[in-house]
Structures are given as structure tokens and as C-alpha cells.
Amino acid sequence: MALVPGRAIKFAPPWDCADAIVTFDANSGDYWLVAVLAYDILRIVQSHDNGIQMPALAEQLATTHVSEVVANALSPTLHSLVDNQLLQPADWYTPALLPMNDSDD
């Protein structure tokens, strides 16, 4: 995963009582309220200039999140970040690394 080109992601200071973090694009002025897991994903991805592979991302998230949270929420959170044009698959992306929920069948 990698940041969408042209995005300059900035974060408002987190509040102890908040369940979401305000996230800004300094270039476009767009902003989002993102959950703590999404915030951590964006911070990790942003720290890797060429993107990050899914196993490495999951490993880093496991240091700050309960493994069940990562296992259950990683895919939908990533899809949300892609849908909101914050993240995109990196050049080396393969579909198997970002599973889709087939609940529409």
C-alpha cells in the first residue's frame, strides 16, 4: 500500500477521549475523521516512501493493536482508505494481498 500521489497527509493532535483522528490533505484541503486503526495505517504507510507490503504493515500494527482487531478490521479499513482516495495499492500489489469481502453474493 502507498499514499495516493499528490496527497500531503497531516493529522490533528489526537485527544485522549476521541475515537477518531482528524486527518487533512494539506494540498487539497480535504479532511476525514478516521478511526485509530486507520490513523495508524496512514502513519505507517506515510513513513515508507515506496509503500509497504501487507505482511510488514500487519506486523507493525500488531505492536499497538490486539491481533483480533487487526485480523478483523484490517481489510475493511484498507478498503475504506482506498475508497476515500487516501491509499492506493503499490506497484508491486497483487489482489491476494488485499482480500475483498464477498458478502454481496
pLDDT tens for the chain, 105 residues long, are: 999 999 999 999 877 777 889 999 999 999 999 998 999 999 999 999 888 988 899 889 988 888 887 778 888 999 999 999 999 987 544 444 444 555 444
From CA 48, how far away is CA 99, in angstroms rounded? 22
Contact between 86 and 32 under an 8 Å Cβ cutoff? The reply is yes
What does each C-alpha distance from 38 to 21, 81, 104, 105 come to in angstroms?
Answer: 9, 7, 24, 27
Angle, CA 102 vertex, CA 104 and CA 95 arms, to 5°: 135
The pTM assigned to this predicted structure is 0.80
- Can you tell me the distance from the alpha carbon of 17 to that of 65, in angstroms, rounded to the nearest whole number? 17
